[in-house]
Amino acid sequence: MLGHFALAGLGERLAERVLVAARHERLDEALLVGFAGTEIMRRLIGVAQLPLVYGTDTKRRLLDLSRSLVLSPSQGLSCWQSAVGSSSLS
């Protein structure tokens, strides 16, 4: 779900609410964040690509975000704001 939030351009606040709920359920936050990064990559460059109309710069920011989420999941959403921001992607 978090990966799709990033692809939809939803802000960090909504993603943080999901993580709060995950903590409440005692889910592994790093695993959840890592899966989000994998889902972003899969939907941008994998076999299950979405027909997104984003420009190259936006897709690059999303791929950078996905890389950070996969390689450093313990950092949580610290890199989310710079890639997604609080408003829609363009």
What would the pLDDT profile of 31-56 be if each residue is shown by its tens digit? 999 999 999 999 999 988 998 889 99
State the Cα–Cα distance between residues 63 and 41, nearest whole angstrom. 6
**Residue position matching structure tokens 């990064």:** 37
State the Cα–Cα distance between residues 46 and 79, nearest whole angstrom. 22
> CA 78 from chain center: how many Å?
11
In the chain, the amino acid numbered 49 is Q
The model carries a pTM of: 0.83
Residue 85: the pLDDT is 60
